[in-house]
A and B are shown apart, each in its own frame.
Chain A
Amino acid sequence: MSPVTRILSTLALVVALMGSMLTVIETPIMTLGLFALPVLLVGVLLSILVLAPYRTGLLSGARACAALTGVSLLMAVALLGTVSTYPGAASHGFWAYVLVAWAMAWLSVEELSGLMPQSPLGQRLVALAIPLSFGVWLLILWQLAVVGFGVPRVLLPAPSEIWLRLLSSPQILWEDFRQTFLKAVLIGYALGCGSGFLVAILVDRVPFLRRGLLPIGNLVSALPIIGVAPIMVMWFGFDWPSKAAVVVIMTFFPMLVNTVTGLAAADRIQHDLMHTYAANYRQTLLKMRLPMAMPFIFNALKINSTLALIGAIVAEFFGTPIVGMGFRISTEVGRMNVDMVWASIAVAALAGSLFYGLVTLIERVVTFWHPSVRG
């Protein structure tokens, strides 16, 4: 048992035992203690029953992990139910039990990460379960804090409200997604990456250009290119072509720099080898240098997948027709419809990670031979 685990389990046990003396819900018209809330009471009793043997070391390993996870989730359900019945009325006792539930969740992750499953499938499941549990608890705590403290909706909506908004307005969100992602992002991404790649191949043939462009390309990657958005809006109008143009400019330079670097990645022996075969430029490029450059090219593709989405959304802050994710975010913020903003952001986040995930998947197939993939 590590010191952190010891302290945390002791603290949780003590708080769970002492908590019964505190008020859980306090409103001007009523005051409820633990014993008025049967589900929560059961949860607390089970917590003590699990924490006590865990602290003394009688319970450990996979069984401790399962017990802690189960009881912490039961506690979460009880707490969420309580707080939604009496929103904004949470008192000391309530937060004490939130602490207990969270501590048990942490301890369960601690146990989980200590598990060493034999099968590769088990290892993958554990590797997935840990961040998943973190994400779920982030949402639970967010929900509990917002509802429990009665945070005004304009400030921060609860996850449940964002979820409801996602369910109630799929039409608007889909239209925005189509405008911003399917048009501006994808077209701009394809054009930007494609032209960056082609220019890199050209530049590579002229060492003078390569030496001149590489430092400039590196510098440009650090510049706030997003600032060209107003100019592109002026040149290409309010609709998606101006956003695609911003995306093209933002994705061009990372692709250029990475491809040029990747084409120089082959070492001297590799070049000598092709030289001894009297291979021509095209053969050397296709059979050796391009495959060698693939990890670099995919690095740029991954960076650009994120940049493209940012570019398209921010460019919409400078003027759009009345559709698009960036437009939605900026106007709904103005109207204080924060749940709609968060719903848009959730869609953007999902689209961004799926896009990135797809590129990563293709990378794994193409560069299966690279140490970082095969290892």
Chain B
Amino acid sequence: MQPQPADSAARSVIDIAKLSLTFETGDGPVHALSDIDLNIGAGEFVSFIGPSGCGKTTLLRVIADLEAPTGGTISVNGMSPHEARLARAYGYVFQAAALYPWRTIAENIALPLEIMGHSREDREERVRRNMELVDLDGFERKYPWQLSGGMQQRASIARALSFDPDLLLMDEPFGALDEIVRDHLNEQLLKLWAKTDKTVVFVTHSIPEAVFLSTKIVVLCPRPGRIYDIIDNPLPRDRGLDIRETAEFLKVAHRVREGLRAGHSYDD
């Protein structure tokens, strides 16, 4: 089941045109992002991949209104990122789980709901549903420090999903986990995406992860941070871990690697 171009064009979630972001530092300006053009349609799973310093995380932060662009235009759900944030349009998953140690897992997942003023019954119902979604049922009353790193990150995904945003922004969420746990979580994430049809934007520096998860892969390169290549992933939406052994998978991975190699300057 391929994503239909007409459909995604009709329901575009993120529109970025000529976007740039320059940091002023003591050593002169740093061009973190320059001349970014990108459209992300509803229901897509888009990965940003690139070496460190290419601006992939910065781009995600711009979408989330955690960073302000210095040029160009960007809209999220047809609004400015700032309005979108105030409208609680997206859930954000950070590199670290960032769960509060003084709250139980259930209370952590209820945190955004409390802030957004949901009723107690609604909170309990949503917490239950989302804990089931990430396979954490039974751990409601545990504290984060009693859980493994993988379980903590799952809880943080449940927290991001608890208020049911259409858009999920994930910044290297599995970067700190070992490969076995990571494979398992990747598989779970795909299932979750299929079940909820959210739009996901996913930052990673792992080629297999990007190819395995995405419908679209955006390759970025540094100095200045810019898009080098956008690859539409031809793999079927419904995929298992074995797909990583297929020739088609390796072909896409090869194209990503070529892009990363070409975009990277080895002058330093």
Contact between A and B in the complex (any CB pair below 8 Å): yes
**A residues in contact (CB < 8 Å) with B:** 269-270, 272-279, 283, 287-288, 291, 367-371, 374
B116 at the interface (CB under 8 A from A): yes
8 A–B contacts, CB within 8 A, in A order: A269-B94, A270-B98, A272-B92, A273-B92, A274-B115, A277-B88, A369-B101, A370-B101
**Is A276's CB under 8 angstroms from B92's CB?**
yes
**Is B100's CB under 8 angstroms from A279's CB?**
no
For A272, A277, A283, the residue with the greatest tally of chain B CB atoms inside 10 Å of its CB is: A277
B23 at the interface (CB under 8 A from A): no
Nearest CB of A to B186, in Å? 22
- Grouping DSSP codes into helix (H, G, I), strand (E, B) and loop, the B interface class, with mixed when no group exceeds half, is loop
* Choice from A287, A367, A369, A374 contacting B115 with Cβ under 8 Å: A287
Interface flags for B91-121 (1: CB within 8 Å of A; 0: not) read 1101110101110000000011011100000
B237 at the interface (CB under 8 A from A): no
Bound CA span A313–B115, Å: 47
Nearest CB of B to A294, in Å? 8
B1 at the interface (CB under 8 A from A): no
B90 at the interface (CB under 8 A from A): yes
Bound CA span A189–B96, Å: 39
B residues within 8 A CB of A287?
Answer: 111, 114-115
**B residues in contact (CB < 8 Å) with A:** 64-66, 85-86, 88, 90-92, 94-96, 98, 100-102, 111-112, 114-116, 143, 145
- Grouping DSSP codes into helix (H, G, I), strand (E, B) and loop, the A interface class, with mixed when no group exceeds half, is helix
Bound CA span A298–B143, Å: 22
Per CB-CB distance, the 4 closest pairs between chain A and chain B, nearest first, are A369-B101, A369-B102, A276-B92, A269-B98
B residues within 8 A CB of A272?
Answer: 66, 92, 94
A residues within 8 A CB of B64?
Answer: 276
Nearest CB of A to B170, in Å? 12
B residues within 8 A CB of A276?
Answer: 64, 66, 85, 90-92
**Is A288's CB under 8 angstroms from B85's CB?**
no
**Is A275's CB under 8 angstroms from B102's CB?**
no
Bound CA span A374–B146, Å: 10
Nearest CB of A to B92, in Å? 4
Bound CA span A165–B111, Å: 58
Q: Which residue on chain A has the smallest CB distance to residue B90?
A: A276
For A272, A279, A374, the residue with the greatest tally of chain B CB atoms inside 10 Å of its CB is: A272
A residues within 8 A CB of B112?
Answer: 277
B residues within 8 A CB of A291?
Answer: 100, 102
B residues within 8 A CB of A278?
Answer: 85-86, 88
